[in-house]
Amino acid sequence: MHLIDLKAYLSELAENNNRAWFVMNKPRYDILRAEFVQLVTSLITEIARFDPAIAGCDPKKALFRINRDMRFSQDKSPYKTTFSSSIVPNGRKKPSEGGGPAYYFQLDGNGRLFFACGEYMPPSDRLKAIRTHILNDSAGFQSVLADKKLKREFGTLQEEGKLQRPPKGFDASHALIEYIKLKNFMVWTEIQIDGWDSAQVQSTLINAFQSAQPLVQWLRAA
């Protein structure tokens, strides 16, 4: 994938986020999207080596649309300024659609690569299942948190949107109650990739995703 071209395109899109500009530059978008599909296809092949469940993921279903959902947003910009993908076994992106834990990454016009693993804002029934799984498999959960490769690559679970009080039905004195309060069960990081090529991006993502595989597997068991 030509990362320089992608960075330039997304940077220009951020400055000209309107339908007229997008239509005029549609040939550029089509080429870059096709290259992005190739990158995601290669990632799926490599991830499947350590996580066979991913082998059936359809790369085109794993891509997010460039169009923004503006129905409930004050920002009426019609297009996203990232290329992003969420890789899950069946290609669906939302836990409510059966997606479950995902390998996610995105590229933007500032030359940043953001990547994450786990579940972001799962629906209430799924969230309860994960919290209950912490109670039922506390040792397994703590083993995931202590994994050296995961900690080196990502640190610990992100605490964005954490509850102030324990969720209903969960003991406030439980040793893992601070994790049970989480609304997201994911790890993430962001790096600058100026001067990189697609092979470096792919290698970085594969190493990171393999490090997070214990978390993905634990969440699937919930």
How confident is the model at residue 77, as a pLDDT?
Answer: 92
Domain spans, the chain: 3-220
State what percent of residues in the chain have pLDDT above 70.
96
How many CB atoms neighbour CB 8 within 10 A?
Answer: 14
- pLDDT class for 222, splitting at 50, 70, 90? very high
What digits encode the pLDDT tens for the residues 16-51?
Answer: 999 999 999 999 999 999 999 999 999 999 999 999
Please, are residues 32 and 84 in contact by the beta-carbon 8 Å criterion? no
Burial class (CB in 10 A: 0-12, 13-18, 19+), 131: buried
Which one, of 81, 86, 36, lies nearest residue 57 by Cα? 86
Which one, of 94, 85, 98, 81, lies nearest residue 43 by Cα? 85
What digits encode the pLDDT tens for the residues 95-114?
Answer: 445 458 999 999 999 999 99
Distances (CA, A) of 203 to 8, 102, 132, 139, 195: 22, 18, 35, 31, 15
What digits encode the pLDDT tens for the residues 56-71?
Answer: 899 999 999 999 987 7
